Structure 1
Amino acid sequence: MKKITSCIAAALLLSAPLASFAADWDSVPIPAAAGTGKTWQLQSISDEFNYTASPTVKPAEFNSRWVPSFINSWTGPGDSEFNAGHSYTSGGSLALQSSAKAGTNKIYTGIISSKETFTYPLYLEARVKHTGNTLANAVWMLSADSTQEIDAMESYGSDRVGQEWFDQRMHVSHHVFVRSPFQDYQPTDAGSWILNSAGTWRGAMHTYGVHWKDPWNLDYYIDGVKVRTVSGPAMIDPNNFTGGTGINKSLHIIIDVEHQDWRDVRPTAAELADTSKSIMFVDWIRVYKPVTSSATSSSNSVSSSSSSLSNSSSSSATTVIDFANYFDTGKSTASVAGDTYVGFNKSGSGNINYNTAGDWADYLVTLPSDGQYKIEVTTASPLISGIGAKLSIDGIYVSTTSLAATGGWELYSASTLANNLSIGAGTHTVRIESAGTSTWQWNGDEIRVTKVGSAAVGSPTTPAPVAMIIQAESFSATGGVYDGFKTYSVNGVSAINYNQRGDWADYAINVAADGSYTFNAYVSSPMSGAALEVSVDGVKVLTQAVPNNGSWDSFQKVSSVSKIALTKGAHTIRVTSAGATSSTWEWNADKFELVP
């Protein structure tokens, strides 16, 4: 969705009417918990696609993050032929198009791949509308050696007769491979195919996310609801293809359209020519890493005195941050001969050097109030052209500014990167990256953030409660007198069984907003007197009778009479069998819901 994300003076490369500095995803809560004492920090790969990228010309905002191709020279599976000219932006979204390659049986398909790689823990989420022509659409991650893969979403939408099963399901999965001799493992249980009870995933934007907690734990989310958890060697790597490491490698992010020959269902020429069916749209993609709530680390701590503005009523309050006071640094481009450091090098007295094109560093700035701010950098360089600095805030591109020569590597001068930039109160991540045609760039002394105006940015909206689906088999722990719940597959769904009186399971949830929620259980039992008990964070909140429907496998919705009051944030739900059946056997369950 197209939106103004910043406000820069007309003299800078970006110019726009005064507007709030906000991202397209700001109104979408992060459904996964960062962890105790942690908070989520947005990564610079995150992209709203609110820029103009044509099939043949990509701007700096794109090129700093992506390449319009696969991570190596591979051109795609089956009849696919990845084509750089089939990726572009349209209306504030990434568009990945598919079309017939004239005179062949090949299909041109769009793809983008991240330049950087990422590792756990992280949360990745994209807002996607997929094609309707039987091709696979995917948001996924892959190691450079193609041995470890995580699929946040993989769709096969089509309105063709006979394709209803795939059209109604979203595939969420992972792979571990041995390349020679080739072997491939991915889970094949029914729980990896997420049924849309409303019909199809096709035709509308949905958010698809994956929380890569560690090498042995993955949680998948659709529209903010956790739909699947896979944990442990038995689910992640039962054949020990990773040699006991689990999914531990750094992974590229890939978004693409493909023809996968295992299905042998090709789109027709008419479907490929129909742009209402042949384009995958991605409104945005965001990636977060957890950091300590104080946002410090043992190696690169950030002092509050140097990264926050004083609580002053003056519109000219200024904070000064040494360039060496970063909490992370790296490089977005290839290494440079003679530059022995990855990212900025701390040269003493708060300065940095050994800065070559593509080097970057992240800094924390805490603003006590909404307002308009000027951001300046103090740099030094004898180079008369080809040097510059790119500014991003909270992962959102703001500007790229050419810097002037100062006459020497230690003769410093200030340059303005942004002025009258409207930013809300709170802690923000500021990234400074060297940008220009020159290989060697500039030395850095200080970053200055000055409040220049007090106009209101606008009040944030209060998030509304959203429904949550808890798959019964996706428990974080289970136990009881009879060893807890067991999992099984029936009628195309994964569920729990072997549930006897006193057995229980715990489920980790993240509530988007305070509210009162009805508890729905999709259960089945041929026993009279069965019941379930629900506790929240160790406190019992309700007991619900489970009716006898004469079957273990005909799941029916049972709704609580009273509602459960839940506060925003992470909670543990425990569901316990608590009936008075003639034997100890109680009920089987497919899923649970919390509905506001």
Structure 2
Amino acid sequence: MRHTLSTLTALLLCSSSFAADWDGLAVPADAGDGKTWQLQSSLSDDFSYSAPAEGKSQAFYERWSEGFINAWQGPGLTDYHNPNSRVENGELVITATRKAGTNEVYTGAIHTNESVQYPVYIETSSKIMDQVLANAVWMLSSDSTQEIDIVEAYGSSRADQTWFAERMHLAHHVFIRDPFQDYQPKDAGAWYADGRLWREQYSRVGVYWRDPWHLEYYIDGQLVRTVSGVDMIDPYNYTNGLGLSKPMQIIVDAEDQDWRSDNGILATDAELSDTSKNQFYVDWIRVYKPVADNGDDDGGNGNGGDNSAATIETNFADFISTGKEGTSVAGDMVTGFNPSGSGNINYNTIGDWAEYSINLPEAGQYRVELDTASTVASGLGADISIDDVYVGRIELQQTGGWESYQTFSLNDALTIGAGSHTVRIQSAGSAEWQWNGNSIRFVKVSESTDTSGDSNATAQPVTIEAESFVRTDGPYDGFQTYTQNGVGAINYNQRGDYAEYNFSVSAAGNYLFSAYTATPESGAALQVSIDGNAVATIDVASTGGWSNFAKTSASAGVALGAGSHTMTVKSAGNTTNTWEWNADRFELIPQ
């Protein structure tokens, strides 16, 4: 809590109770139907006390301990040094200085005495230092295998560091410690930018850790990033199918990270001795958990979400029709979903489906959520279609019991109009026995993002040249480009390689995806995701040569809102030699 000495301050100091800095700031995440946000006071701190650099204070030690959560002294050239943290003037201050006689950097680090576990919302207001060092508010499990970063930013004013100074890194890690493996999402959305320089102002950054497979990131109260599902949280199964599930402690520190110092990005003595540049300020940290809403006053923060936001929920058993695609599974005596009481369904095997009538009271962007339970270790999923248009797959996970329900959702919200819709949910994946279902929810997260500015715009075909990707990567280093008879295309594409493309559509509607591909191989395939949602997996037939391009299309359209989108195209076949296909272009044709 930053203080300005005034008559008002003096009056407050005479009071027997104090208001927190965040009073009046609603929690922006949705606590859920029938729930409200409850402040976790033992983990929340507005730093309205003093704690000197050496010795600290009793008020500090009630919540915090100095240093890291174990004996580790930090990455790279970092040396955690207790006197480099203090609380004064209503703020936590983390300082970076040179360790005398070395090239190492002393930085402050503190961590919470208690751990926290999902579902939980954690938010901080902070202002980073003008250094090449990382400034961080983050969470880590006691065995250092699971990490969620809330603030991770690099604020240096050096001209060659502007790209980093303009961005907030919104990411998480899952690790295997021996032999060491580290996964973090590397999509473009992990580096958030909105035009500000993060060193120049205090910014609110929050994370809603809703469940092991879903994170939401908020900047100044606005949702800016959602990371959800196996492909984004733990695609290599480092957590053995459990996701971000372990209790974590909150850490505040600064770091001289080796991926920067090893590349010559080093803090100078002059920078580290400049008190206008070497201090990371944290105004407050607040932590909330969702609890049943019994009408109690939690100190003015309430639900904290948008109380007018629409949440439409129905039971899995309330379908209007059910059936099965594909062959029956041994032991499954029911065709389609089986109502099992209390609104749930069971006896759900691969290919079982049901349709539901969902009435949305208002148009907007909706998050689609399913509450499911399963003891099956892998191969679980649910394909979602709305009004006969496939919109994506929800990757589901083992929950530990057939009645131990957890919430899973599509990676990104969908733009959906008001009114009645037919929603089809079909079990998908590789496992024969799938999951039990409890509830289906459509949670409105914002108004429609139609940015076309013309409600009468006509849907137009979109052509995306395959060589026009904004990013490519994969186990074989992604796509390469070439020119054949004056036509640009991509090649050197092996299984798992992918590329990302940006495109816009002029009007909301249903669009059919097609690709112009060439391959002499058998068993090739491509997978398409739009805005993080898987929309199609398409078999790519042999064309007899690497430049004999032919059109192949998805079996169903995808619903798109007007405006900008991001598409990922990934090779996903089973060719004998890992080589997949070349591509000339992709199309999205209005239906």
SS at match of 2:244: coil
The correspondence for 2:147, drawn from 141, 146, 149, is 149
Counterpart of 1:577? Answer: 509
Q: CA deviation at 1:127?
A: 0.3
Separation in structure 2 between the aligned mates of residue 205 and residue 109 of structure 1, nearest angstrom: 20
1:350-361 to 2 correspondence within 5 Å?
none
Cα displacement (A) at 1:520: 5.1
Q: Residues 29, 268 of structure 1: CA spacing in aligned structure 2 closer, same or farther, 3 A cutoff? A: same
Deviation at 1:427, TM superposition (A): 5.1
Shift of 1:521: 3.8
Pairing 1:279–2:254 present: no
Matched residue type, 1:545: A
- d(CA) in 1 for partners of 2:444 and 2:236? 30
Are 2:288 and 1:288 aligned?
yes
Distance in structure 2 (CA, Å) of the matches to 1:230 and 1:498: 15
- Cα deviations by residue, 1:121-169 (Å, 9 ceiling, x for unpaired): 1000000101111110111110110011111121012111111211111
Distance of aligned partners of 1:100 and 1:427 in 2 relative to their CA distance in 1, 3 Å threshold: closer
SS in structure 2 opposite 1:234? helix
* SS in structure 1 of the partner of residue 157 of structure 2: coil
| Counterpart residue number, 2:235 | 238
Q: Is residue 2:130 matched to residue 1:218?
A: no
1:500 and 1:122 map into 2 onto residues whose CA distance is 28
Q: What CA distance in whole angstroms lies between the structure 1 residues aligned with 2:505 and 2:78?
A: 43
Cross-structure match for 2:23? 26
1:229 equivalent to 2:230? Answer: no
Residues 109-120 of structure 1 mapped to structure 2, 5 A cutoff: 109-120=107-118
Tell me, yes or no, if structure 1 residue 17 matches structure 2 residue 17. no
Aligned equivalents of 1:185, 1:550: Cα separation in 2: 34
Q: Contact 2:47 / 2:90 at 8 angstroms: preserved in 1?
A: yes
Partner of 2:192: 194
1:282-307 C-alpha deviation (Å, 9 max, x unpaired): 00000011111128xxxxxxxxxxxx
Establish whether residue 74 from structure 1 lines up as the match of residue 6 from structure 2.
no
Q: Relative to 1, partners in 2 of residues 1:179 and 1:158: Cα closer, same or farther, differing over 3 Å?
A: same
Deviation at residue 186 of structure 1 after TM alignment: 1.0
Partner Cα separation in structure 2 for residue 204 and residue 221 of structure 1: 16
Which residue number in structure 1 is paired with residue 269 of structure 2? 269
Paired with 2:79 and 2:565, the residues of 1 have a C-alpha distance of 40
Q: Is the 8 A contact 2:53 2:83 kept in 1?
A: yes
Residue 204 of structure 2 corresponds to: 207
Q: Which aligned pairs between 1:504-519 and structure 2 lie closer than 5 A?
A: 508=443
User: 1:277 deviation in Å?
Assistant: 1.6
Confirm or deny that 1:484 pairs with 2:391.
yes
Q: Tell me the TM-score normalized by structure 1.
A: 0.55
Following the alignment from structure 1 to structure 2, what is the Cα–Cα distance between the partners of residues 105 and 281?
A: 24
CA distance in structure 2 between the aligned counterparts of 1:114 and 1:260, rounded to whole angstroms: 22
Determine the C-alpha separation between the residues in 2 that align with 1:41 and 1:34: 10
User: Matched residues in 1 for 2:416 and 2:158: separation?
Assistant: 44
User: What is the aligned partner in structure 2 of residue 589 from structure 1?
Assistant: 564
Change in CA separation of 1:56 and 1:499 when aligned onto 2, cut-off 3 Å: closer
Residue 256 of structure 2 is aligned to residue 256 of structure 1? no
Gap change, CA 1:99 and 1:427, over 3 Å in 2 = closer
Which of 164, 167, 173 aligns to 1:166? It is 164
Q: Secondary structure at the match of 1:49?
A: coil
- Secondary structure class of the residue paired with 2:164: helix
Shift of residue 100, structure 1, vs aligned partner? 0.6
Is the contact between residue 24 and residue 48 of structure 1 (CA under 8 Å) also seen in structure 2? yes
Superimposed CA distance per residue, residues 81-100 of structure 1 (whole angstroms, 9 cap, x where no aligned partner): 01110001232110000011
How many Å apart are 1:80 and its aligned residue?
Answer: 0.4
User: How many Å separate the matches in 2 of 1:266 and 1:131?
Assistant: 15
Deviation of 1:120 after TM superposition, in Å, equals 0.8
- Stretches of structure 1 that go unaligned for 5 or more consecutive residues are 5-9, 296-365, 367-425, 429-458, 488-494, 512-516, 524-530, 533-542, 559-574, 592-596
The superposition leaves residues 300-326 of structure 1 with CA deviations (integer Å, 9 ceiling, x where unpaired) of: xxxxxxxxxxxxxxxxxxxxxxxxxxx
Counterpart position of 1:136: 134
**C-alpha separation in 2, matches of 1:549 and 1:576:** 12
- Contact 2:459/2:505 (CA < 8 Å) preserved in 1? no
Q: Quick check: 109-118 or 14-23, which moved more?
A: 14-23
- Indicate the SS of the match to 1:95: strand
CA distance in 2, matches of 1:551, 1:497: 24
Whether the aligned pair in 2 keeps the contact of 1:486 and 1:499 (CA below 8 Å) is no
Indicate if the aligned counterparts of 2:26 and 2:305 stay in contact, CA closer than 8 A. no
Are the counterparts in 2 of residues 503 and 577 from structure 1 also a CA contact under 8 Å?
A: no
Residues 496 and 178 of structure 1: CA distance in aligned 2, closer, same or farther (over 3 Å): closer
Equivalent position amino acid for 1:589 in 2: S
Aligned equivalents of 2:158 and 2:252: distance in 1? 24
Q: Is the 8 A contact 1:485 1:499 kept in 2?
A: no
RMSD, aligned α-carbons = 4.4
| Structure 1 Cα separation of the partners of residues 102 and 443 of structure 2 | 51
Pick closer, same or farther for the CA change 1:75–1:579 going to 2, 3 Å. Answer: closer
| CA distance in structure 1 between the partners assigned to 2:23 and 2:71 by the alignment | 36
The within-5 A match list for 1:410-449 is 426=297
Inter-partner Cα distance in structure 1 for 2:292 and 2:152: 32
1:37 aligned onto 2:31: no
- Going from structure 1 to structure 2, the CA distance change for 1:177 and 1:460 (only over 3 Å counts) comes to closer
1:545 aligns with 2:457: yes
Find the aligned partners of 1:137 and 1:503 in 2 and give their Cα distance: 47
- TM-score normalised to structure 2 length: 0.55
- 1-side partners of 2:456 and 2:92: how far apart? 47
CA contact (8 A) 1:68 1:112 kept: yes
Deviation at 1:278, TM superposition (A): 1.0
- Cα distance in 2 between the residues matched to 1:266 and 1:485: 44
Q: Is the 8 A contact 1:65 1:116 kept in 2?
A: yes
CA shift in 2, pair 1:503/1:153, >3 Å: farther
Structure 2 match to 1:176: 174
Residue in 1 aligned with 2:7? Answer: none
Letter in structure 2 aligned against 1:284: W
Distance 1:17 1:87 in 2: 28
Sort the Cα spacing of 1:161 and 1:52 in 2 relative to 1 into closer, same or farther, 3 A.
same
Which residue type is aligned with residue 218 of structure 1? Answer: L
Structure 1 residues 31 and 159, CA, compared in 2 at 3 Å: closer, same or farther?
same
Cα distance change, pair 115–75 in 1 and its aligned pair in 2 (3 A): same
Shift in CA distance, 20/273, structure 1 to aligned 2, threshold 3 Å = same
Question: C-alpha distance in 2, partners of 1:214/1:19?
Answer: 38
Letter in 2 for 1:215: P
Residue ranges of structure 2 left out of the alignment (5+ in a row)? 5-9, 310-363, 370-383, 395-410, 425-440, 465-500, 513-552, 567-591
Code of the residue aligned with 2:391 in structure 1: it is G
SS in 2 for 1:262: helix
| Partner secondary structure for residue 104 of structure 1 | coil
Equivalent position SS for 1:162: helix
Q: Which amino acid in 2 is paired with 1:246?
A: G
**Which of 120, 124, 129 lines up with 1:126 in the alignment?**
124
Measured after TM superposition, the shift of residue 46 of structure 1 is 0.3
Query: How far does residue 16 in structure 1 lie from its aligned partner after superposition?
Result: 2.8
Question: Judging changes above 3 Å, is the alpha-carbon distance between structure 1 residues 546 and 187 closer, same or farther for their aligned structure 2 residues?
Answer: farther
Q: Which residue of 1 aligns with 2:481?
A: none
Preserved contact between residue 37 and residue 301 of structure 2 (Cα < 8 Å): no
Q: 1:30, CA displacement in angstroms?
A: 0.5
